[in-house]
Structures are given as structure tokens and as C-alpha cells.
Amino acid sequence: MNYERSTHLTNDAKKIREAVFISEQGFKNEIDAIDKHAIHLIFYKAAQPVGVCRYFISNINGVYIIGRLAVLKKYRKDHIGAYILQTAEQNIIKDGGKKAVLSAQLQAQKFYEKYGYIANGPIYMDEHCPHIHMEKLLNKLNLDKEDSLEKF
């Protein structure tokens, strides 16, 4: 699996996000001003775009926010979400990040917990969907996982 890192929202990334968040899940406010200053990661399997996420630095030094992680429905059993999350973390560490935070849909909380994220705070609504704030301290050891990601 390959990925592209972009400083703007590409057409491939936009199509995946629209398919997952708007068409499938019914969100309305998918594209926002954050897209203009976020780093976008677009993942390809056999040259086909299959997943995406974005991240950006917060107003707290060393803290990055991961968001809009999405995998097209027909690829969700291929563990691509895990690959996307771990790749985003590696990029954040290389960019100098020490901590990743995200707003997880409540139905995805266990997925993020599996990769070391800890829920922090109350459940809240984002549009029509319950979410929870989650955090993970990052360190250089996470970079060692890069070799294990080669299987994708």
C-alpha cells in the first residue's frame, strides 16, 4: 500500500470523505477551513484511493490533532484503518509531535483504544453522532513500527 502526503485537500481525499461521511453516515459539515492548513494523507491500494486522514498542529506545542480518518466500505476488513492511524502517528512524530488527540465517533472508541488512545472527557454530539475526545502520547519508539507496516 502506498500513500501520498499533501498540504491541500486532493480530489481523491475529498471523494473518500464525501463517500464515507456524507453519503454513508449523513454528516453535512464535512469540508471545513481546517482543510486549508492540515496535512492530508491519502492511501492507495493497487493505485486506487481507499482511505484518508488529516492532521494538524494544535495551539498547544507538540500536540497534533488527527481527524477525518475514513476507509471506503469495501476495504474496511483489510486493516487499512490501523495502517492509516499508525502512518499518521509516524508522520506526526517526524514533524516533531509528542501527543496525538482526536475526536472519535463513539462506535470507533474501541478501535482507537486498541492502538493506545485513552478517552478523556464526556461524550458529546458532533452533528447527529456521539463522539469522545481521545489522546495518545507519542514517542520515538512508535517509529520502530514502520517496518511492521510494510505488510500492507
Domain boundaries, the chain: 2-151
The predicted model scores a pTM of 0.91
- The larger pLDDT score, comparing residue 146 to residue 47, is at 47
Residue 147 pLDDT:
46
Q: How far apart are CA 16 and CA 12, in angstroms?
A: 6
> What would the pLDDT profile of 99-125 be if each residue is shown by its tens digit?
999 999 999 999 999 999 999 999 999
- 93 near 138, Cβ under 8 Å? yes
The total of other beta-carbon atoms located within 10 Å of residue 134's CB is 22
Taking the CA atoms of residue 99, residue 103, residue 107 and residue 108 in that order, the dihedral angle to the nearest 10 degrees is: -30
Q: How confident is the model at residue 80 (pLDDT cuts 50, 70, 90)?
A: very high
Q: How many CA atoms lie within 13 A of 68 on its CB side?
A: 26
Mean pLDDT of 55-84: 96
Q: Is the pLDDT of residue 150 over 60?
A: no
2-151 belongs to CATH 3.40.630.30: yes
Taking the CA atoms of residue 41, residue 83, residue 56 and residue 17 in that order, the dihedral angle to the nearest 10 degrees is: 60
Mean pLDDT of the chain: 93
